[in-house]
Structure 1
Amino acid sequence: MGRPVHPALAPYVASLRAYDVDLGAPGVHRGLPGTTLTLVLPAGEPLDVGWAGRPETRARRWSTLSGLHAHPAQIHHDGHQAGVQLALTTAGARALLGVPAAALAGTLVELEDVVPALRDLPERLAGVGPEQRAALVQQVLLARLGRSGRAARPPRAEVGRALAALTRGLRVEEAAAEVGYSRRHLATLVRAECGLTPRDVRRLARFERARAGLGRAPLAEVAHRCGYADQAHLTREWGALAGCAPTTWLREEFPFLQDPEVGADAG
């Protein structure tokens, strides 16, 4: 279940969710890319995760931190998953982890590899009930922010504004003009901050918007709303970024849907 993020953490934590789900049977869940870093703190059993198509990256971890990426992860499970999942902004990488997001781009690491001071967080989570896990994580992050977050160098204001513009769907040249940079200079700064090109950031933001719209409207309408050329373009991008067609993802994630082309609450 989603939990409101403390106002002091809001610039750094896009979402925080405690979860405890029965998936019915063992399987593989797709971890999709997006515009935020993902931190997963499992409870009960370590998370069995790796990049799709790269078996050498698969491992069982008591904490998994993934940087920005443009390909899916695969989470292997025994039919039950529990823990806390956070989406960290690029500003959150600096404030809470002490490194720019670019330092983690394309990686899957344990939290203690980046922030040794938080190595005991997974063990602390194991000692509390499900309803207290999200609250404990927020307390730990607030303490972390109070000790070191204010001293962390924030991203350049212009880069932050450009990333926000790209996430809204502005073209790269429009985002560059909005902050007064050339496309080349903006590309250099964005890559240094988050490890992706401005074009990749815009692409992932469009993918996130499409993901939010799937199952709520016909695919052609979702494609149009999100800025794809057509439904075929949307489907190609899902194949590249998710490793499957959008209808396949819907069937995997929401098997109760009667018509994956439209969705349960369209109409």
Structure 2
Amino acid sequence: MAHAAGEPLPPATSEAGWQCRRYSPGVRLNERIGRLQAFAVRLTSPVQLLEPPRGHVALVIGFGNPIHITTLTTPDTEGTYDSFLVGPDHPPLITRHDGERTCFEILLSPCTAYELFGGRTQGLDGQVIPLEAFLGDMVNRLTEQLIVAASWEQRFALLETTLTRHLDRQPWQVRDEIRWAWHCLEQSGGAMPVSELVSALGWSHRHFVHSFQHYTGMTPKAAARYLRLARALACIDQSPEEALAAVALECHYCDQSHLTREFHALAGCTPATYRHQCLGHFLPVSPAGARSGFFKTAPAPSA
């Protein structure tokens, strides 16, 4: 059963004006999204955060002061957004904002995003796209309703109802075999070998890779890498004192060195840097246009 008013999460340690609530939707959506949570902040000075990819399409609906986003690999390019969408394999992002802002973050499986947006999420290519480009005026109407809603309970219920109705109206369907394959990869944290999926389906390797990429926008190998990273991020988020060698073992990396290489390639920094300087902390804000020397430039991941 859904938590009516959302499950409150502890505030960030470095900012008193920060609230976060997590919500578990009903059965209709529970199997189709990875996470639904809300943030409300009231800041007295600008802050910025590192946002690594987590293997899911991130749909963000927000209002209040807009958020400024740049990629770690192209720090001189910045966009300003209220509501936006990023793909499951986006480059590490730096988000910056100040003042008051409320936003809802919905993590969708690529299969659900395909059905919600008719396959258009495959063309994101690591970009941050304004949500209006996908949902048009529906975004403005929904935002206005969220602003005037009297409680968190009403806001979450409104989001759940809106998403469910929109999904029900869409004609696009992902093949059951690909949905099953994604579920297997997700549940295993990216550890299930692609060869096992191919064997279980009885398809040729080439046909499986082509079909998987058509619906998810990623090859199975790339999806496995990002899902493995997502599990590693979750482990560090939940148990920041756990030894990185143990995290590597739990998340099916060969060893700690393998974890460090993959983490740096996809998240933009080492797991040690993420744990000690990003987790639960706001990053120092540099002057506009200044390139941060805090992170090393992350190489583009291979497929």
Q: Secondary structure at the match of 1:48?
A: strand
Matched, 1:245 2:264: no
Aligned to 2:179, which of 148, 157, 160? 160
Are the counterparts in 2 of residues 26 and 79 from structure 1 also a CA contact under 8 Å? yes
Task: Give 1:57 deviation, angstroms.
Answer: 5.0
**CA separation in 2, counterparts of 1:216 and 1:136?**
38
Are the counterparts in 1 of residues 56 and 110 from structure 2 also a CA contact under 8 Å? yes
Are the counterparts in 1 of residues 114 and 216 from structure 2 also a CA contact under 8 Å? no
What residue is the counterpart of 1:262 in the other structure? none
Q: Look up the equivalent residue of 1:161 and give its one-letter code.
A: W
Q: Secondary structure at the match of 1:5?
A: coil
Q: Secondary structure at the match of 2:39?
A: strand
Give the number of equivalent residue pairs: 253
Larger deviation: 134-143 or 221-230? 134-143
Q: Look up the equivalent residue of 2:262 and give its one-letter code.
A: E
Over the aligned positions, Cα root-mean-square deviation in angstroms equals 2.3
Q: Look up the equivalent residue of 2:51 and give its one-letter code.
A: G
**CA separation in 1, counterparts of 2:172 and 2:192?**
27
Aligned to 2:218, which of 193, 196, 202? 196
**CA separation in 2, counterparts of 1:134 and 1:223?**
35
Task: Give 1:68 deviation, angstroms.
Answer: 2.2
Q: Secondary structure at the match of 1:69?
A: coil
Q: Look up the equivalent residue of 1:210 and give its one-letter code.
A: A
Aligned to 1:210, which of 217, 232, 246? 232
Taking the TM superposition and a 5 Å limit, the aligned residue runs for 1:19-168 are 19-21=39-41, 25-55=45-75, 58-78=78-98, 81-99=101-119, 101-120=121-140, 121-129=142-150, 131=152, 132-146=154-168, 148-149=169-170, 152-167=171-186, 168=188
**CA separation in 2, counterparts of 1:67 and 1:57?**
18
- Give TM-score scaled by structure 2 length: 0.76
Are the counterparts in 1 of residues 116 and 166 from structure 2 also a CA contact under 8 Å? yes
Larger deviation: 178-187 or 21-30? 21-30
Q: Look up the equivalent residue of 1:158 and give its one-letter code.
A: E
Task: Give 1:80 deviation, angstroms.
Answer: 5.8
* 1:89-132 alpha-carbon deviations (Å, 9 max, x no partner): 12321333233542435231111101225232233323335624
**CA separation in 2, counterparts of 1:242 and 1:164?**
23
Q: Percent identity?
A: 30
Alpha-carbon distance change, 145 to 193 in structure 1, aligned in 2, over 3 angstroms: closer
**CA separation in 2, counterparts of 1:83 and 1:93?**
19
Task: Give 1:224 deviation, angstroms.
Answer: 0.9
Task: Give 1:222 deviation, angstroms.
Answer: 0.6
Are the counterparts in 2 of residues 40 and 85 from structure 1 also a CA contact under 8 Å? yes
Structure 1: give runs of 5+ residues left out of the alignment.
256-267
What residue is the counterpart of 2:280 in the other structure? 254
What residue is the counterpart of 1:6 in the other structure? 26
Are the counterparts in 1 of residues 58 and 85 from structure 2 also a CA contact under 8 Å? yes
**CA separation in 2, counterparts of 1:145 and 1:191?**
21
More helix by percentage: 1
**CA separation in 2, counterparts of 1:240 and 1:254?**
22
Larger deviation: 189-198 or 245-254? 245-254
Task: Give 1:79 deviation, angstroms.
Answer: 6.9
